[in-house]
Structure 1
Amino acid sequence: MKTPRLSLTTIIFTFFLITILSGCNNGDSDNYTVAPPEPLPGKADLSQYDNGKRVMMQAFYWDVEPRFEWWEILSRKIEDWAASGIDRIWLPVATKGQSGEFSMGYDPSDYFDFGEFDQHNTIPTRFGTRSDLEALIGKAHNNGLEVIADIVLNHNSGGGEEFNPYRNKNTHTLFNKDHGNASGMFNRNYEDFHPNSIHEHDEEALFFEEQDLCHHQSRVQEWLWKGENSVARYYKDIMKFDGWRFDYVKGYGSWVVKAWNDEVGGFSVGEYWDGSAPKLIEWVEASGSAAFDFACFYKLDEALDRNNDLTILEGDMLWKTHPDKAVTFVANHDTEKDENPENNISTANKMLAYAYILTHNGYPTIFYSDYENETYKSRLKDLIRIHNTMATGPIEVLYSSPEEYIMRRNGTKDNPGLILYMNISSGHKQRTIPSNWKDQSLVDYSNNTSAWLMTDSEGQVTIEAPARSFSIWSVSQ
């Protein structure tokens, strides 16, 4: 049986004649003419399908500019992000680093200097003053957004020099008011780093050897999460952060993240940079925290950039076994500056990758530089809207080949779900598939085609997708 299709552009230029798609799958079609329906099918009001899901915004990129103004710049974005369906913003490391005004925060020196102490040749951080940050957090909360703090627990930088008996040489492990810790809180010395009187190193690999924090030291635990004035409690109770992004969690035991979260709670995601789904699963189960789904990231990179083979998406990913613990992403501050093409997804394929994570399970993260890029912005807004409304219900892969991937979200009793069609070939593709909708018109909510389709009495329909692009089908209004 042939399935009707109508292109709105064709209507205008052919006096309301439409094309009937055949059941063939090679891009060919037979032409017929039928009277168009009245009224023409259009998109449904998606607000009626709110599924309660939202997305997170990574609100920075590497070496943001201009210096000292970032918190103010973000404050001006809050209303738009909230209206677009974002429910959390992940901020860069908010405290003073050794590099002072040039620091992105991953060289942490003073955990309690949010831009108010004169040290490392600056009072504000690269991002602004403490008052600017507090204003940003307040505005985010007033617009219903949670604010996620980036926490670096593995290593410290910018301390004063002292003799270290465990290394039999001088090391920069002295942190006090005169040496990189002007707040006077969480002063440290060589006993708080590795090696020390307890052991040589943490359970996991060393990253920043000479200033590698020892999480087994009781006073380190008190200052990081246990004590009344701990970093965790200060960030939550005083600064009003709502959750945590833990940097480089391979550098210490998973028990550290679990202990932190048991003490103060809040949303939590760890940067366990590994493309192995089993390793990610092991970490999230041990820590109790969510993790960035690097397995998904690398599968998308392999499928879209390296191998041009969408069957790779059938492989293991964290979201497939632990959807509530998987934070999916297409780009972040590290991948975007990485010159190794195997560690980033190409510009040409970014929207395909976003279409994948925003229609599948997991908690998607949008990268600031992508969302604020006018090339992507309107399309990302459409995908976020689709994610927050119709991307629900069990997932079924209906068809998979090197060039094509078709997935169905089966929806719920009150939600129609959707069908995603990814096509990485150089030509327009069509394929006949089963849907959950009988005798209903469908439209492409991605806006990548202007066609409408009609399912038959059994739910069969021939869907289409443009070359090197995608379409997302669901019932019309």
Structure 2
Amino acid sequence: MKRRIILMGWVMSMMIGFNSCSSDNDPIDNTDDNPGQVPTTPTEPGALNLENYKNGTGVMMQTFYWDVEPRHEWWKIINGKVEGWANAGIDRLWLPVATKGQSGGYSMGYDPSDYFDFGEFNQHGTVATRFGTRDELVTLIANAHANDLEVIADIVINHNSGGGLEWNPYRNKNTYTLFDGTHGNASGMFNRNYENFYPNSTSDYDHGSLFYAEQNLDHNQEYVKNWLWKSDNSVAKYYQDVMGFDGWRFDYVQGFEPWVIKEWMDEVGGFAVGENWDGNANNLRNWVAAAGIPAFDFSAFYKMEEAFDRHNDLTYLGKDMLRKTHPEMAVTFVANHDSEKDSNADNRIAAENKLKAYAYILTHDGYPTIFYSDYENAAFQDDLKKLILLHNTLATGDVEILYNDNDEYVMRRKGTSTNPGLILYINTSSNTKRRTINSHWTNTTLMDYSGKTTYKPTTGADGSVSIEAPAGSYSIWSITN
């Protein structure tokens, strides 16, 4: 991965005495009875060269938002950003659904019609997909690989759309279940008819999918299994072996059983994550155990939304999340294409709180995802680059919450024998705050590597130190040279 970033730094690690909710009366609020010393040092300490502390992790970029514009240009647009993303510390690109949907050039891909039309067949009113042509996609994937980035395919394997109308004896009416060379499947591969959807001659099961229930694929059929993942020219193997995709983002996994993903992954492997839109951490734990792959951590997403927005109470960050019990199975995020298109405030984190939420996921365990529109926001990008760098370097070791009340949250990554780790301090009050904690460093000057404060405290002989977080913001601490 090509990157050369030296960050002006600051970091620290803490134990902490748990205190009651802090006061907002003073511009700087030392909330502990025994505020830490802030001794001066004869020489200015230097920031760590974070390039020397790479911890082997990375960050995934979601490379699209809902209804990207301009149409037919997207593969070329993001191709021009690949090298910059790689330099910033991104290690995977999550692409939108790459094949032709019923809406043709207007389709975001979640109405899949032809699984093998990447923008080369004239159907549904267009040759190119909304994102561009097959050749442009191939160029993008090759460029990503040249920059050491994996490319993740968004896969929709339960509901289909855009087929021809045919009589369906199992539903006793006409259904849009005919997919062939002249009915939404110009590639001629994976032709389908009513027998391949629920219900059919082998199953009367009806999942009741929220999307295109009449075109809900029956994964129990060998024909469907073969075309989706088992045969040499299956969707999975074509994506992997011909197009060059490295992994999978499984859309709407509540629309089919977890064993489908297990069989898919046993056949082709690669990185994978499932979209199980469920804020209940227990439900997510049960699903990842059954499917055998990570899930987007909607439990963490909703706890952040409640902490920063809905209830303005950081104690929600102390509640149950998938990442707290199964960090290796949790893909964390602050926003995605669905949450941002939804006008429901409870399904999104407000813009003024997003950087605090990104500071949370990029310092904690779990595998974080950056949303394209947030990274490309000029007001966010510099901060996100710093946070990505800190994630890929100092954000390592066990997680320990040192302090948590309604407007303060302090967390330590304990580091390793060769990595000092870090401490995150979030403050949602209207005043700058300082809090004394007991660090595992002695007689060491600390710095805020997020750049939010120039305050440089020094730990005492017992490891105690007072750290600072600006009003409505965060700071990230570690040792200096």
Amino acid at match of 1:280: L
Q: Deviations over 1:80-128 (max 9, x none)?
A: 0101111000000000000000000000000000000000010010100
Q: Does 1:349 align with 2:346?
A: no
Pick one of 463, 468, 471 that aligns with 1:459: 463
Give the SS at the match of 2:248: strand
Pick one of 113, 137, 140 that aligns with 1:136: 140
Q: Does 1:25 align with 2:21?
A: no
Give the distance between the partners of 1:183 and 1:134, measured in 2 at CA.
Answer: 18
Give the SS at the match of 1:125: coil
Give the distance between the partners of 2:122 and 2:414, measured in 1 at CA.
Answer: 57
Contact 1:23 1:462 in 2 (8 A): no
Give the SS at the match of 1:414: coil
Pick one of 253, 257, 261 that aligns with 2:261: 257
Structure 1 residue 56: Cα displacement: 0.2
Amino acid at match of 1:57: M
Q: Does 1:223 align with 2:227?
A: yes
Aligned equivalent of 1:232: 236
Contact 2:401 2:410 in 1 (8 A): yes
Superposed structure 1 runs of 4+ greater than 6 Å apart? 26-32
Give the SS at the match of 1:283: helix
Aligned equivalent of 1:423: 427
Aligned equivalent of 1:167: 171
Give the SS at the match of 1:385: helix
Q: Does 1:190 align with 2:172?
A: no
Structure 1 residue 41: Cα displacement: 2.3
Q: Does 1:105 align with 2:116?
A: no
Q: Does 1:334 align with 2:338?
A: yes
Give the distance between the partners of 1:225 and 1:420, measured in 2 at CA.
Answer: 43
**CA 1:455/1:234 → structure 2, altered by over 3 Å: closer, same or farther?**
same
Aligned equivalent of 1:386: 390
Structure 1 residue 203: Cα displacement: 5.9
Give the SS at the match of 2:453: coil
Q: What percentage of aligned pairs have identical amino acids? A: 62
Give the distance between the partners of 1:341 and 1:85, measured in 2 at CA.
Answer: 30
**CA 1:415/1:379 → structure 2, altered by over 3 Å: closer, same or farther?**
same
Q: Mark the runs of 5 or more structure 2 residues left unpaired by the alignment.
A: 1-9, 11-26
Aligned equivalent of 1:18: none
Amino acid at match of 2:31: N
Taking only aligned residues, the RMSD between alpha carbons, in angstroms, comes to: 1.9
Give the distance between the partners of 2:207 and 2:126, measured in 1 at CA.
Answer: 36
* TM-score computed with the length of structure 2 as normaliser: 0.92
Contact 2:35 2:436 in 1 (8 A): no
Give the distance between the partners of 2:216 and 2:207, measured in 1 at CA.
Answer: 12
Give the SS at the match of 2:238: helix
Give the SS at the match of 2:457: strand
Give the distance between the partners of 1:73 and 1:174, measured in 2 at CA.
Answer: 35
Structure 1 residue 29: Cα displacement: 8.4
Contact 2:154 2:248 in 1 (8 A): yes
Aligned equivalent of 1:369: 373
Pick one of 96, 118, 129 that aligns with 2:100: 96
Contact 1:425 1:467 in 2 (8 A): yes
Aligned equivalent of 1:269: 273
Give the distance between the partners of 1:31 and 1:151, measured in 2 at CA.
Answer: 55
Q: With CA pairs under 8 Å and 6+ residues apart, which has the higher RCO, 1 or 2?
A: 2
Amino acid at match of 1:95: T
Q: Deviations over 1:2-39 (max 9, x none)?
A: xxxx9xxxxxxxxxxxxxx999417998999x7x5343
Give the SS at the match of 2:323: helix
Amino acid at match of 2:81: K
Contact 1:202 1:214 in 2 (8 A): no
Aligned equivalent of 2:87: 83
Q: Mark the runs of 5 or more structure 1 residues left unpaired by the alignment.
A: 1-5, 7-20
Structure 1 residue 208: Cα displacement: 2.1
Aligned equivalent of 2:363: 359
Contact 1:202 1:215 in 2 (8 A): no
How many residues end up aligned between the 2 structures?
456
Contact 1:42 1:476 in 2 (8 A): yes
Aligned equivalent of 2:180: 176
Aligned equivalent of 1:211: 215
Give the SS at the match of 2:456: strand
